[in-house]
Amino acid sequence: MATKRSVGTLGEADLKGKKVFVRADLNVPLDDAQKITDDTRIRASVPTIKFLLEKGAKVVLASHLGRPKGVTPKYSLKPLVPRLSELLGVDVVMANDCIGEEVEKLAAALPEGGVLLLENVRFYKEEEKNDPEFAKKLASVADLYVNDAFGTAHRAHASTEGVTKFLKPAVAGFLMQKELDYLVGAVANPKKPFAAIVGGSKVSTKIGVIESLLAKVDILILGGGMIYTFYKAQGYAVGKSLVEEDKLELATSLIEKAKAKGVSLLLPTDIVVADKFAPNAESKIVPATAIPDDWMGLDIGPDAIKTFNAALDTTQTIIWNGPMGVFEFEKFAAGTDAIAKKLAELTTSKGVTTIIGGGDSVAAVEKASRSQVSLPLTMRKLWSQVSCPCQPWCHFVLDHGVTLQSYGHEIEACHRVLLDESRISLDFLAGASEVI
């Protein structure tokens, strides 16, 4: 196994007296009184920060909170200072901004073993745009970089990717390394049978994903808008459903590759169609081979759900990326909700290893947890907790996942381990458009 470039490989000689820019995920829930209601993410960041402090580093801590549009007081990180100070055993200094003269002065004044918490980096639109000048300003107060924000690591933002162009070395924190280690075990050496559920609107965004999976899985279940390209490639009428005309040959070749490799490729046998793309559209269930003209498929049907569930019942490892239909519309969410419920059932009753990646898939699980669908506590909480070591079985929810582009060259080895051993890109778990 390749050596991973993580914070644990740095010694006192690398860190003593150095200012370390630490991107953590401190996006914790706050109540109306600005009190923390769940400090899981703060506690998860503590081991990396304490390690740095013990080595004599000066920590400049950055995070986002919520989805602010400009400077928004309710999304300030100031309410986190007391809890951070308590957990770290030091008085955390709070800046009123994340860049600028005040930040520069506070960072310069930090003693060894001191912590400076920057204000919400998303108060600047340049953060999410990965603006190079903004990234340069963030990096200007530090000597090296540690990314321990697993839940946001896939995003090429200024504080997760941009700063790595100005700070070397750029390494992973302990939380990041732990989750990558989990993935190597769960994906590179999965318990068999191994199934993948791939949804989403277009075949073109999942070509590399599907091809990689065909070399690894026993069962491949397809859903979402991409299925209509597969149907048309087989000569079926698809009405007004989404079709990528230039990917028909590709769809045919993928079906042939699955057959050649002995992979059971399952497409829905029935479809929920609508007369328009709207939450209040008229709908009906039809066979997948008989979608009427002027109607469009927006979800998988009940027979497909039964077939998919029966296949999943035989598995020991499942990866899910992408919804089965337009789950944002309640009328067309049944297929996606059913998958979420099934994975919850298999996780709790059979100890099946479940990996859920992609923003839409995680959002679907969150949605299901707020509905009447019964999900176990671990599945409801894992997007904030990331992993649950207290259970005898492994269940994992990737909050969007990780991509190589999220880091500087220094820690690429962390990802390359998984790529080399499993041939499945972490970008698959992030719902990215291609396999690296």
The answer to whether 67 is a known ligand-binding residue is: yes
Closest CA relative to residue 116, chosen from 86, 141, 93: 93
Q: Is 65 annotated as a binding residue?
A: yes
Cα distance between residue 276 and residue 283, in whole Å: 9
Largest CA distance in the chain: 71
Q: What is d(CA 167, CA 119) in angstroms, rounded to the nearest whole number?
A: 20
How far apart are alpha carbons 9 and 6 in whole angstroms? Answer: 6
Q: CA-CA distance, 379 to 183, in Å (whole number)?
A: 17
122 is in an annotated binding site: yes
**Secondary structure string (H, E, C) spanning 338-390:** HHHHHHHHHHHHHCCEEEEECHHHHHHHHHHHHCCCCCCHHHHHHHHHCECCC
25 has binding-site annotation: yes
Contact 211, 254 (CB under 8 A): yes
Strands 270-274 and 194-198 turn out to be unpaired
| 206 is annotated as contributing to ligand binding | yes
Q: Phi/psi of residue 129, each to 5°?
A: -85, -5
395 is in an annotated binding site: no
Please report which helix (H) or strand (E) contains residue 223, including its range.
Answer: none
Q: Does 415 belong to an annotated binding site? A: no
Q: Answer yes or no: are the C-beta atoms of 8 and 174 closer than 8 Å.
A: yes
Q: Which residues on adjacent β-strands are paired with residue 221?
A: 197, 266
CA 225 vs CA 69, 229, 238, 243, 244: distances in Å: 32, 8, 11, 8, 10
Is 64 annotated in some ligand binding site?
yes
Residue 418 marked ligand-binding: no
**At which residue do the structure tokens 């302990």 appear?**
174
Cα angle 236, 335, 198 (rounded to 5 degrees) comes to 70
Q: Is 359 annotated as a binding residue?
A: yes
312 appears as a binding residue in the annotation: no
41 is in an annotated binding site: yes
* 83 marked as binding residue: no
Task: Give helix 174-183 / helix 412-422 axis angle, nearest 10°.
Answer: 10
* 381 closest CA partner among 371, 392, 370: 370
> Which amino acid is it at 192?
K
Q: What is the CA radius of gyration of the chain?
A: 23
Count Cβ atoms below 10 Å from residue 333 Cβ, excluding itself: 23
Kindly list the distances between the CA atom of residue 99 and the CA atoms of 24, 106, 123, 365, in Å, as whole numbers in the listed order. 17, 11, 11, 36
| 400 labeled part of a ligand binding site | no
55 is in an annotated binding site: no
294 is in an annotated binding site: no
Give the integer Cα–Cα distance in Å for 272 and 307: 15
Binding-site residues for (2R)-3-phosphoglycerate: 41, 122, 155
Binding-site residues for substrate: 25-27, 64-67
Binding-site residues for ATP: 206, 328, 358-361
Binding-site residues: 25-27, 41, 64-67, 122, 155, 206, 328, 358-361
